[in-house]
């Protein structure tokens, strides 16, 4: 059994795809950063 045939037999588990929309991923990441920064400053942790 070669490496290619074993990789082709793997089942996807719902993780991030390799060809997904990068813009949405970046926007959601930056939104999370901003929300955490607002929470930290509102709670006076910084």
pLDDT tens-digit readout, 28-43: 999 999 999 999 999 9
| H, E, C per residue of the chain | CCHHHHHHCCCCCCCCCCCCCHHHHHHHHHHHHHHHHHHHHHCCCC
Q: Would you put residue 31 in left (φ > 0), alpha (ψ -120 to 50) or beta?
A: alpha
- Of residues 25 and 35, more confidence is placed in 35
Q: Report the mean per-residue pLDDT for the chain.
A: 80
pLDDT at res. 13: 75
Asked whether the beta carbons of 19 and 12 are under 8 A apart, the reply is no
């Amino acid at each position: 059994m070669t490496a290619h045939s074993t990789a082709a037999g793997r089942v996807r588990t719902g993780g991030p795809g390799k060809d997904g929309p990068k813009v949405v991923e970046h926007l959601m990441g930056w939104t999370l950063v901003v929300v955490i920064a607002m929470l930290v400053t509102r709670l006076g942790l910084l």
